[in-house]
Chains A and B, each alone.
Chain A
Amino acid sequence: MSTVLTVDRVSKSFRTQAERVNSLKELITKRRRNADVEEFFALRDVSFKVSEGEAFGVIGHNGSGKSTLLKCMAGILQPTSGSVAVQKRMSALLELGAGFHPELTGRDNVFLNAAILGMTRREIAERFDEIVDFSGLAEFIDEPVKTYSSGMYVRLAFAVAINVDPELLIIDEILAVGDVTFQQRCMQKFVEFREQGRTIVLVTHDMGSVRNFCDRAIWLEHGEIAGSGDPADLVDTYTEKMLTDAEVDRSMESTRRGSGEIRVDEVELHVDGEPTTHVRTGDTVDVRLHFSADASIENPVFAITIGRLGGAIVTFPSSRDVGEVPATVSGSGTVDIRLDNIALVPGPHVLHTEVTGFGRQHVFDHIQNAVSFDVLAGDVRETAGIMTMRPTWSIAGAGVSGRSPLV
Chain B
Amino acid sequence: MSLRTAVAHRNLLYLLSQKELRTRYRKSILGWAWSLLNPISQVVIYSFVFLTVFNATPPVGDPSGLEIFPLYFLSGLLPFQFFSISVTTAIGAVDANASLIKKVPFPHEHLVYSVVIAQGVTFAIELAILTVALLIFGSMVLPWLPLMIPLMALMALFTTGVALALAATNVFFNDINYLWGIVAQVLFFATPIIYEPGVISNPTLQAITNWGPTGSFIRASHNILYDNRFPSAERWLHLIVVSVAVFALGTWIFGKLSPRFAEEL
Contact status of A116 and B22, CB under 8 A, knowing A14-B263, A95-B99 = no
**What residues of chain A lie closer than 8 Å to B201, measured between beta carbons?**
none
The main secondary structure of chain B at its interface with chain A is helix
Proximity bits, A240-262, B CB within 8 Å = 1, else 0? 00000000000000000000000
Interface with A: B77-85, B101-109, B156-164, B184-192, which one?
B101-109
**What residues of chain A lie closer than 8 Å to B262, measured between beta carbons?**
71, 76-77
Number of interface residues of A (CB under 8 A): 33
Interface with A: B11-19, B57-65, B133-141, which one?
B11-19
**What residues of chain B lie closer than 8 Å to A21, measured between beta carbons?**
172-173
Interface positions of A from 86 to 135, Cβ below 8 Å from B: 92, 94-95, 98-99, 101, 103-104, 108, 111-112, 115-121, 124
Interface positions of B from 67 to 106, Cβ below 8 Å from A: 97, 99-106
**What residues of chain A lie closer than 8 Å to B175, measured between beta carbons?**
23-25
A122 nearest CB neighbor, chain B only: B11
Of A20, A94, A124, which contacts B103 at CB under 8 A? A94
Number of interface residues of B (CB under 8 A): 30
Asked if B23 is at the interface (CB within 8 A of a chain A CB), the reply is yes
User: Contact between A115 and B15 (Cβ–Cβ < 8 Å)?
Assistant: yes
Asked if A335 is at the interface (CB within 8 A of a chain B CB), the reply is no
Asked if B26 is at the interface (CB within 8 A of a chain A CB), the reply is yes
User: Contact between A119 and B100 (Cβ–Cβ < 8 Å)?
Assistant: no
User: Contact between B263 and A103 (Cβ–Cβ < 8 Å)?
Assistant: no
Proximity bits, B249-265, A CB within 8 Å = 1, else 0? 00000000001101110
CB distance from B110 to the nearest CB of A (A): 9
Complex Cα spacing A74 to B103, Å: 9
User: Contact between A76 and B105 (Cβ–Cβ < 8 Å)?
Assistant: yes
Complex Cα spacing A23 to B174, Å: 6
CB distance from B264 to the nearest CB of A (A): 8
Asked if A299 is at the interface (CB within 8 A of a chain B CB), the reply is no
**What residues of chain B lie closer than 8 Å to A99, measured between beta carbons?**
97, 99-100, 103-104
B258 nearest CB neighbor, chain A only: A78
User: Contact between A23 and B173 (Cβ–Cβ < 8 Å)?
Assistant: yes
**What residues of chain B lie closer than 8 Å to A22, measured between beta carbons?**
172-174
**What residues of chain B lie closer than 8 Å to A229, measured between beta carbons?**
none
A117 nearest CB neighbor, chain B only: B104
Complex Cα spacing A206 to B211, Å: 64
A144 nearest CB neighbor, chain B only: B26
Asked if A275 is at the interface (CB within 8 A of a chain B CB), the reply is no
CB distance from B21 to the nearest CB of A (A): 11
CB distance from A96 to the nearest CB of B (A): 9
Complex Cα spacing A23 to B26, Å: 33
CB distance from A88 to the nearest CB of B (A): 14
User: Contact between A75 and B19 (Cβ–Cβ < 8 Å)?
Assistant: no
**What residues of chain B lie closer than 8 Å to A118, measured between beta carbons?**
9, 12, 106
Contact status of A98 and B103, CB under 8 A, knowing A22-B173, A24-B173, A111-B15 = yes
**What residues of chain B lie closer than 8 Å to A76, measured between beta carbons?**
101-105, 262
Of B19, B23, B260, which contacts A78 at CB under 8 A? B260
